[in-house]
Amino acid sequence: MSQLAIRATGLSKQYRLGPTKLRHNTLRDELTFGFKRIFRRNGRVRSESDRIWALKDVSFEMKEGEALGIIGLNGAGKSTLLKLLSRITEPTEGRGEIFGRLGALLEVGTGFHYELTGRENVYLSGAILGMRKAEIDKKLDAIIDFAALEQFIDTPVKHYSTGMFVRLAFSVAAHQDPDILLVDEVLSVGDLGFQRKCMDYMQRLRERDATVIVVSHNMFAVKTLCKRAIYLAEGRVRFDGAAEEAIALYEREGRLGTAPWAYQMMGGNPSGAQIRITDVQLFDEGGMPRAVFDHGERIRVCIEFDAAERVMHPNFNVSFFRSDNLPCCNHNTAMDGLPIPWIEGKGAIEVVTPPVKLVADLYSIHVMVWDARFERLYAAQVGATCHVRHRELNKHFGVFHEPAKWRWVSGENGLVSTGAAPGVGRS
């Protein structure tokens, strides 16, 4: 019979809004908070609206050898849950228990020192994870080989790209031989070859009865690795069960949900917003429904809305957010030359993008309605998602790629040549 590997009981984490978090991990923190509480007795008392629950009353158990996917919109509490389980931060309420050797890859570069070389950081990161020097000595070549960084291992990591950081950090965590592995979004950062290597490694972990928790926006990876998934929404467990059911519910409910970053800007009650986006559909330039677009194609975004009352001079915005929550581009009526005097009741608006030059990835489309000066936010909802497809371009090439015009001069014969990428033209 399989042994218990992880138990979460009523795990909750509360933060205070503003620069100070509701966290007291040291004696100094407790004393400081105590004095502040004394002096505030006759002053304004902070209300519950000054605080936010990043995670609330999350309970679940995992047996040895299970693989669990954690899914949800950005801000749902996924990363907070992993930080509580790995004891990076303490819960406000509840308890998380780990039964076995823990390996965690939660944030790029955690435990790395930018001035040290890759080799030196292997020893530093390994020591932080609980590995002895003799163990690291024995596994060093395998760690470097897995990360495919032989050429750069003695280079200071401040010169590494994000992908190189992730490869080395994951390799160290992997060679810790953990009984339990917690992984946060590593499958959306590395290149395709490295992602496959990570998937294969986690499959091998499962074959030897290790326990794996994966946080990812990559639903294919969650389906491949996990039979079970937890869908978090606004810090609470919305569903815990079969991965395919969790993903279907997440995709259905997440569509047209309020963007997590917008809650405070809209007074904490988006349900009372003056404008509600009721549908977002994607088409190609010719009007055919699409979810996958090739790099360089135009995307037709059709938006339906309902204004509860008359709104003067609304400014409709369509923004593309990459899978790692990076805002990549924005189109809006105010800057694109379509003034709208007012809206009231039901209506629709459409935008056809320029040729999309974003790198290949999954993008979520946020639809917002501001005033013309970007001062008041009327609506902010997560609409459809789409893939941009390209054979070579990925995050290592940045956010977008627009072909440039090049010129070179040969030093030997004075030959001058100019050129551009295929399809751009030559001169």
Q: For 298-313, write each residue's pLDDT tens digit.
A: 999 999 999 999 999 9
Residue 101 has a pLDDT of: 85
The CATH superfamily of 257-397 is abc- transporter (atp binding component) like domain (2.70.50.60)
Alpha helices in 40-132 (DSSP H): 78-85, 118-128
- Given a cut of 50, whether residue 38 has pLDDT beyond it is no
250-267 tens-digit pLDDT: 877 767 777 767 766 766
Q: What is the mean pLDDT of residues 324-334?
A: 90
Task: Name the strands in the sheet holding 236-242, side by side, starting at the edge strand that comes first in the sequence.
Answer: 102-105, 180-184, 211-215, 67-71, 228-233, 236-242
The domain limits of the chain are 4-100+179-254, 114-172, 257-397
Q: Which residues contact 151 (CB under 8 A, 6 or more apart)?
A: none
Alpha helices in 25-174 (DSSP H): 27-39, 78-85, 118-128, 133-147, 162-174
Helix (H) / strand (E) containing 199: helix 192-207
Lowest mean pLDDT among 206-215, 337-346, 391-400: 391-400
Q: What is the share, in percent, of the chain residues with pLDDT greater than 70?
A: 82
Lowest mean pLDDT among 5-14, 64-73, 198-207: 198-207
Q: Which residues contact 359 (CB under 8 A, 6 or more apart)?
A: 295, 388, 390, 393, 394, 395, 397, 398, 399, 400, 401
User: From 3.40.50.970, 3.40.50.2020, 3.40.50.300, 1.10.510.10, which CATH number describes the 4-100+179-254 domain?
Assistant: 3.40.50.300
φ, ψ for residue 3, nearest 5 deg: -85, 160
Can you give the pTM of this predicted structure? 0.62
379-391 tens-digit pLDDT: 988 888 888 888 7
Lowest mean pLDDT among 95-99, 123-127, 191-195: 191-195
- Measured CA to CA, the distance from residue 43 to residue 419 in angstroms comes to 70
